């Protein structure tokens, strides 16, 4: 019994000394940013900080571009997505921007012209439990180039 009492007292003394030690140690630390004044670092506001080339990316458009900025486009592309319920759709538009649309009603279809078939892609995933199988399809210049289906989603490519 005496050993238990000695152990408990020793633990309390060590805990108290540890708290006092941390308090003393904290007094020696430079506390310049915790005085209620925010730390102002001019480099944190630099828009080029995360861009190693020094060129800020253009913002992604919220609506799909259907014609490339360099002209009318070399290929006519049609994206199609079907499911029994709503789907989330991710695709490249004619400006080669990757866009994401949530809870799109099925069937979904988008026609655009493109210059780069490597940036012709559509991915569809179920947006809810009732979507069932999801199917995507891509036609280029009127010819089907890719079709895919799956329970958890589907991805189609245009190359």
Of 107 and 29, the structure prediction assigns the larger pLDDT to: 107
Query: What pLDDT score does 135 carry?
Result: 97
Percentage with pLDDT > 70 across the chain: 63
Whole-structure pTM value: 0.61
The helix (run of H) or strand (run of E) holding residue 138 is strand 134-140
Question: What residues have CB less than 8 Å from 71, skipping those under 6 apart?
Answer: 115
Tokens standing for residue 99: 């866009």
The overall average pLDDT reported for the chain is: 78
pLDDT at 93 exceeding the cut of 80:
yes
Residues 130, 132, 136, 137, CA torsion sign: negative
For 67-88, the pLDDT digits (tens) are: 888 778 899 999 999 998 999 9
* Rounded distance between C-alpha atoms, residue 69 and residue 123, angstroms: 24
For 144-155, the pLDDT digits (tens) are: 999 999 999 999
Query: What pLDDT score does 43 carry?
Result: 44
* Rounded distance between C-alpha atoms, residue 135 and residue 155, angstroms: 8
* Rounded distance between C-alpha atoms, residue 60 and residue 130, angstroms: 30
Complete domains list, the chain, with CATH: 75-157 (2.60.40.2880)
């Amino acid at each position: 019994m005496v050993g238990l009492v000695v152990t408990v007292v020793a633990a309390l003394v060590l805990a108290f000394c540890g708290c006092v030690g941390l308090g003393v140690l904290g007094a020696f630390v430079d506390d310049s940013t915790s005085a209620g004044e925010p730390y102002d670092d001019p480099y944190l506001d630099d828009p080029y900080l995360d861009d190693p080339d020094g060129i800020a990316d253009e913002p992604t458009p919220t609506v799909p571009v259907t014609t490339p900025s360099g002209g009318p486009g070399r290929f006519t592309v049609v994206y199609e997505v079907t499911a029994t319920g709503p789907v989330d759709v991710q695709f490249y538009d004619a400006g080669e921007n990757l866009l994401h649309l949530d809870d799109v009603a099925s069937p979904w279809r988008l026609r655009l012209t493109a210059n780069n078939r490597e940036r012709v892609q559509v991915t569809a995933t179920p947006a809810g439990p009732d979507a069932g199988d999801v199917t995507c399809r891509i036609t280029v210049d009127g010819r089907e180039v890719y079709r895919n289906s799956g329970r958890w989603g589907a991805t189609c490519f245009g190359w």
